[in-house]
Amino acid sequence: MIAPLPLAVADGSSLSLAGALGIGIAFGWCLERAGLGSAPKLMGQFTLRDMTVLKVMFSAIVTAMLGLFWLSWLGVVDLARVAVPPTFIGPQLVGGAVFGAGMALAGLCPGTSCVAAATGRLDGLIVVVCFFAGVLGTGLAIPLMAGFYESGSRGAVALPAALGVAQGTVTFVVVAGALAAFAVAGRIERAMAARVGRVRP
């Protein structure tokens, strides 16, 4: 048997849902333990006073990238079965900008807002309600912007294919970039802490 293992089972979707629930809870637990259920913590990223978001997300990317690369090399993971969502450059640029603006305004993103709501934070609950309203509104508006929504399709391309380099090269560059980012983030945090007259423990 080779990973990723199928969650769907022939006799119904209950196991799929249970698997998704388990993964979701684990993801939420990791976010909460990293402190990302707190809006001030996330806002620290935008004010450069707390680089936890960058460190957590870059750590996750590097872990997943190295894991997929080497598990595939070992024959444990079938990369052909790892879903790569298609790229739509214009719509995704606009979507990213809207997402970023919403995250800066709310101080939370969809995942962290669920974590915040689950831990009893009122701001998290409000953000969850608002983003579901946004999802509903966007879904209803899709027919009005279908032309743009489906424009600029580039298919399911990944960086190695787009850049014409080996996957190992991309992996190395991302890992090196992450390690450099961690070092720079630490310096920025210390500089900002000194600037506001307090030293982080």
Partner 1 sequence: MTETRALVRALGAMAAVLGALAFGVGAPARSQGAVRDTVVSAATRDALDDCDRGGCSSGAQSISAVQLAEWIRDGRPGLRVLDIRDSSAFATRHIPSAESVELTALPSVAPKPGETLVLYSDDDLLDLQGAAWLTRVGHARVHLVRGGMSAWMTEVIDPVVQGDSATAIAALSRYFGGVPRAPSPSDTVSGPRTKARVRGDFGFVTRRGC
List contacts with partner 1 (CB under 8 A): 1-2, 6, 62, 66, 68-70, 72-73, 75, 77-81, 86, 150-151, 153-157, 166-169, 171-172, 174-176, 178-179, 182
Task: Select 3 or 98, whichever has its Cβ closest to partner 1.
Answer: 3
CB of 117 to partner 1, least distance (A): 29
CB of 77 to partner 1, least distance (A): 8
Closest C-alpha among 158, 184, 183 to residue 171: 158
Task: Select 24 or 67, whichever has its Cβ closest to partner 1.
Answer: 67
Task: Select 17 or 158, whichever has its Cβ closest to partner 1.
Answer: 158
Taking CA atoms, 186 is separated from 5, 25, 174, 193, in Å, by 38, 29, 18, 11
CB of 130 to partner 1, least distance (A): 28
Tell me which H or E stretch contains 139.
helix 122-141
Angle, helices 110-118 vs 14-33, to 10°: value is 80
Task: Select 79 or 192, whichever has its Cβ closest to partner 1.
Answer: 79
What is the DSSP code (8-state) at residue 37?
Answer: T
CB of 120 to partner 1, least distance (A): 28
- List all residues 6 or more positions away from 113 whose beta carbon is below 8 Å from its beta carbon: 106, 124, 127, 128, 131
